[in-house]
Amino acid sequence: MISSDALLAGAGRTVNLTATRDIAAPYRVPVYVACTVFALIVNYLLGKDMAWDTLSYHIYAGFNAVNDRFAQDYFAAGPASYFNPYIHVPFYYLITTGLSSLEISSILAIAHSVILWLTYELAVIVCPSNDPHKRLMFGLCGVVFALINPILLQQIGSTFADITTGELVLAGWLLLAVAVRTPSTTRVICAGLLCGIATGLKLTNAIHAISGFAVLIMLPLTLHGRIRDGLAYGISLGLGFLVIAAPWSYRLAERFGNPLFPLMNNIFRSPEFTSEPLHHLRFIPATVAEALWRPFAMIDPVTMVHEEMRAPDPRYAVLFILVSVFLYRWLWRRRTPSSGQSLSRADAGSARALAAIGCGLAVDWVAWLSGSGNSRYFLPMSSVAAVVTIAMLFRLFATRPKARNYVLLGILGVQGVQLWMGADYRWNEVPWNDHWIDVTVPAKLASEPNLYLTMGAQTNSFIAPYLAPGAGLINFSGGYTLGAEGANRARIDALTKRFAPNIRVLVRGERLYRKDELRTPNRAQIDEALRPFSLRVDETDCATIIVRGLPPELEFTLSNSQPVVPQARDTTYLVSCRIAPDKADYSGQMSAHRNIDLTLDHLEDACPALFQQRRPYTEYSVDGGLRRYLNTDLTAWIRHGWVTFLQPSIGGDMIYLGRESAWIKGPIQVRCGRRDGRYFASLPEATERP
């Protein structure tokens, strides 16, 4: 007897050539060229983007990948120092070529335009018609719906790796969609390799790679065939990941005992990073109701909904409504006799491909929303969502093309207004100039291999390639505070001993200010931060690095401070002063420090939902101390005897939670939680405010 597998395989060979011809994208080259030209125009009009991440770790990552920095740097770019850096190597090499900022950004924009090519191809795959002109129109509509994503526009020409790695994911899903129409184990294997490589380069793509298994459910094969292709996809996915991740993971395991350091340290438990679970909650809905409302919340042109900037996007709400309408129509038709109409081969294949990527998208949406909710990490699925939305609109209005066109124009019109008036496109826009960054380093710093201790959430690690060969960097205070004891202290002491006496502090600012000037960078604050390491600033040996091509740093002052000195729009200063040993006796402060730690411990115990991860290192100051919480973006302060907290990522007023003297006795009952992306806390009774 002939098995069903053999029959299906024979049928597949018979129609494979015809089916492949049916799904070929028409007018491919002109569409690709148009997409690339559009990306170049958008990039030019939006200007050069000098994002926070570019300065904090993108440039350093590329530099780190081609230079062995493990021996001389330690958390130079904070925890991001140890993410896989290979995806940033092309950008670093572009900087070293001497090309202008416009030329570099244009090359990046050309690379980013590939996501539009892939969106066009995917749209053609799910088009129910064989007519080339209809497929062209269908594909262009998919591209346009992908383009009206403000986050995609925001990243064109930028240094973010979300589009470039997302293109690998989207290419993998495209191959899976083709395999659903014309079964091919080879395509499934190639899809797994692409998604595995994308995950190795940027771990946030893991959700999309895993969701690809949901697409395979719709393969027109027997159960045995689906299991076979599912195993092939899983094996190739793991192989692609290992090929890219293994070299860097080996270095991390050798250095920290954790091949994914600093991620998953709750499993590997390296002593050099917190072992509390790392889960950034900034955009994750706090309740099921918030999760269900998220597609509609994304329409509002406000910050901190699904990204830090304003990025209004109605497409997911439209898709949610379309899915609801289709579900209602399907339930209604189940109650009525079948019309007996059969689908054409092309329509049946496109419907199966649409159902496949739709299932995958649904699984991906749920996993993404519970994992990060950050739309920068959803870019490949944003293109899939655009294609699914267009396909559902065309199918819903199959007999009413005029109504369909009105709906399309209405959506585009509304979103066009949103993009024009309510979206942000550059994190820090600066003018196009001759270099991406123009750094002027004093001769002494350019020739002397110093160890630089940097402070602040902005690590300024971009300066590493411009310092003297052999120079080292440690970002000891800022986004993640390194402890003055244990494994962190041992690493820092080893580096300071190796570089001594060539140890310097490096902070933003033209010079150090005195304590009475009430302006940053302040000498007293820096000394306080260095004190746990028995170091202090030597103001007799300071130098200033001038950086052009960046937006000037915001300077925070108090109302009674001296007037701010105006800066050039694209000029930034980094001041570096030598550091000397501090042999003063500060044992008298130990009791106050213990009280601060105990108070903050009690605060964390009273409201564990807010203060995550628990028990970070405390940064002490003259009037108190603070802790920074990576998962929730909160900073808890004890200042002048008051307990407060603030969410710096969204600003707002400090929230006061009473006196230190009350908290030191034990945890106090607090009503706290998160609502609409904002954290709140209040005592059961009115508390005196300072």
Q: Indicate the pTM of the whole model.
A: 0.91
pLDDT, tens digit (0-9, with 9 covering 90-100), for 348-393:
889 999 999 999 999 999 999 999 999 999 999 999 999 999 999 9
**Other CB atoms within 10 A of residue 424 CB:** 16
Residue 429's pLDDT is what?
82
Inter-residue contact 482 to 583 (CB < 8 Å) = no
Read out DSSP for 631-676? TTTEEEEEETTEEEEE-TTT--PPEEEEEHHHHTTS----EEEEET
* Residue matched to tokens 């302040």: 522
- 556 has a pLDDT exceeding 60: no
Q: Collect all residues with Cβ–Cβ distance below 8 Å to 214 and sequence separation of at least 6.
A: 359, 360, 362, 363, 364
SS3 content of the chain, % helix, strand, coil (to 5): 55, 15, 35
State the maximum Cα–Cα separation within the chain, in Å, rounded to a whole number: 94
Phi and psi torsions of 147, nearest 5°: -70, -25
205 vs 561, more confident? 205
293 vs 347, more confident? 293
Mean pLDDT score of the chain: 89
User: Residue range 644-669: average pLDDT?
Assistant: 87
- 559 has a pLDDT exceeding 80: no
Task: Please choose, from the candidates 640, 642, 651, the residue with its C-alpha nearest in 3D space to the C-alpha of residue 678.
Answer: 651
pLDDT, tens digit (0-9, with 9 covering 90-100), for 568-610:
556 889 999 999 999 888 888 889 999 999 999 999 999 998 9
Residue 674's pLDDT is what?
85
Inter-residue contact 184 to 178 (CB < 8 Å) = yes
User: Residue range 492-509: average pLDDT?
Assistant: 95
pLDDT, tens digit (0-9, with 9 covering 90-100), for 183-239:
999 999 999 999 999 999 999 999 999 999 999 999 999 999 999 999 999 999 999
Residue 15's pLDDT is what?
41
259 vs 327, more confident? 259
Tokens of 423: 């979206």
pLDDT, tens digit (0-9, with 9 covering 90-100), for 20-67:
555 678 899 999 999 999 999 999 999 999 899 999 999 999 999 999
User: Residue range 599-628: average pLDDT?
Assistant: 91
Query: What gap in Å lies between CA 84 and CA 80, rounded to an integer?
Result: 9
CA 601 from centre of chain: 30
Query: What gap in Å lies between CA 462 and CA 479, rounded to an integer?
Result: 16
Residue 512's pLDDT is what?
87
- 416 has a pLDDT exceeding 60: yes
Residue 690's pLDDT is what?
55
399 vs 17, more confident? 399
Query: What gap in Å lies between CA 171 and CA 44, rounded to an integer?
Result: 27
pLDDT, tens digit (0-9, with 9 covering 90-100), for 304-320:
999 999 999 999 999 99
What percent of the chain has pLDDT above 70? Answer: 91
